[in-house]
């Protein structure tokens, strides 16, 4: 996690651009965060981050945040959403409609490749 700290950081600019959403549990604690980001590909947005508090995994928080990100990407006119996935999260993305399209370099750990997914939005 220490190596991924910078990639997981939510930047003020993302918040100001309304690209970040959080889920708060009934206990008032942060349950998860999702953010969209730009892509170098036309008509595409990136799932910049999706992080769920460990104690909230398998409670529906991730599914809810993912659905919100997909809805927001559609509202912004994107034709697809790309996802650079941690290998342990690949099954989650597949269950939520993502299709594996290849591998790409990690944005957090130099020299590491990660599964690259897409969700077609049209």
pLDDT tens per residue, range 66-98: 999 999 999 999 999 999 999 999 999 999 999
Sketch the domain layout of the chain as residue ranges: 5-120
Closest CA relative to residue 49, chosen from 89, 79, 16, 78? 89
Q: Coil, strand or helix: which one is 88?
A: helix
CATH architecture, domain defined by 5-120: 3-Layer(aba) Sandwich (3.40)
DSSP secondary structure code for residue 78 in this structure: -
> Confidence class of residue 6 from pLDDT cuts 50, 70 and 90?
low
35-76 pLDDT, tens digit per residue, is: 999 999 999 999 999 999 999 999 999 999 999 999 999 999
What pTM was estimated for this model as a whole? 0.89
Query: Where is pLDDT greater, at 12 or 116?
Result: 116
Q: How far apart are CA 8 and CA 23, in angstroms?
A: 16
Under the banding of pLDDT at 50, 70 and 90, the label for residue 11 is confident
């Amino acid at each position: 996690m220490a190596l991924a700290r910078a990639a997981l950081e939510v930047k003020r600019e993302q918040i100001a651009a309304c690209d970040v959403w959080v889920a708060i549990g009934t206990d008032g604690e942060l349950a998860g965060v999702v953010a969209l980001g730009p892509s170098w590909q036309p008509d595409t947005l990136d799932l910049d981050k999706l992080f769920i508090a460990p104690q909230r995994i398998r409670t529906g928080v991730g599914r809810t945040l993912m659905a919100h990100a997909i809805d927001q990407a559609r509202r912004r006119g994107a034709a697809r959403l790309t996802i650079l996935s941690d290998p342990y999260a690949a099954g989650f993305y597949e269950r939520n409609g993502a299709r594996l399209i290849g591998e790409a370099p990690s944005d957090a750990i130099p020299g590491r490749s990660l599964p690259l997914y897409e969700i077609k939005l049209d």
